[in-house]
Amino acid sequence: MDHPMPSAGRTITLPTIDHGEVTLPEPSWCAGHADHRPDTHRADILHKGPDIVLAFHGAEIIAAGLAQSPCATLPTRPEFGGRTVGVSVSPVDRTLNPVQLYSLAAALDGFADQLRDLADQLTAILAGGAR
């Protein structure tokens, strides 16, 4: 079942290689289509919101943002999203639904706990404790 976000009347017209000019409702969260190329197929049009990014020392660890392919056909690879709005996550290279996104957040929480355990272990080693 499709769950498009309300567009508040905004539309975007984009050139495509297979359907010419295509006019679509544009979700309020869409950051625009500055990178759209005219040789794009209609099924590959992507609404993308701004990413949230976890970076450390200038390196991007993970990024995520809303995404929707409003003209997608039946997906041959559902992990890349479709007509239903999802959250695109990289470098996981998947578009996740809410349940999957909560699972990722739980995995990241678990990883953070493991990092804290390593920090505790390293602190003990550096203090001359456990080797």
Task: Tell me the per-residue pLDDT of 111-130, one tens digit each, with 9 for 90 and over.
Answer: 999 999 999 999 999 998 66
- Element of type H or E holding 110: helix 98-126
Burial of 104 (0-12, 13-18, 19+ CB in 10 A): middle
Query: Domain containing 127: what range?
Result: 97-131
Residues 90 and 115 in one domain: no
Residues 123 and 88 in one domain: no
Residues 92 and 113 in one domain: no
Residues 71 and 122 in one domain: no
Number of separate domains in the chain: 2
More confident of the two residues 34 and 79: 34
Task: Tell me the per-residue pLDDT of 73-120, one tens digit each, with 9 for 90 and over.
Answer: 866 566 667 888 999 999 988 999 999 999 999 999 999 999 999 999
Residues 10 and 70 in one domain: yes
Residues 113 and 68 in one domain: no
Cα 38 to Cα 19: distance, rounded to the nearest angstrom: 11
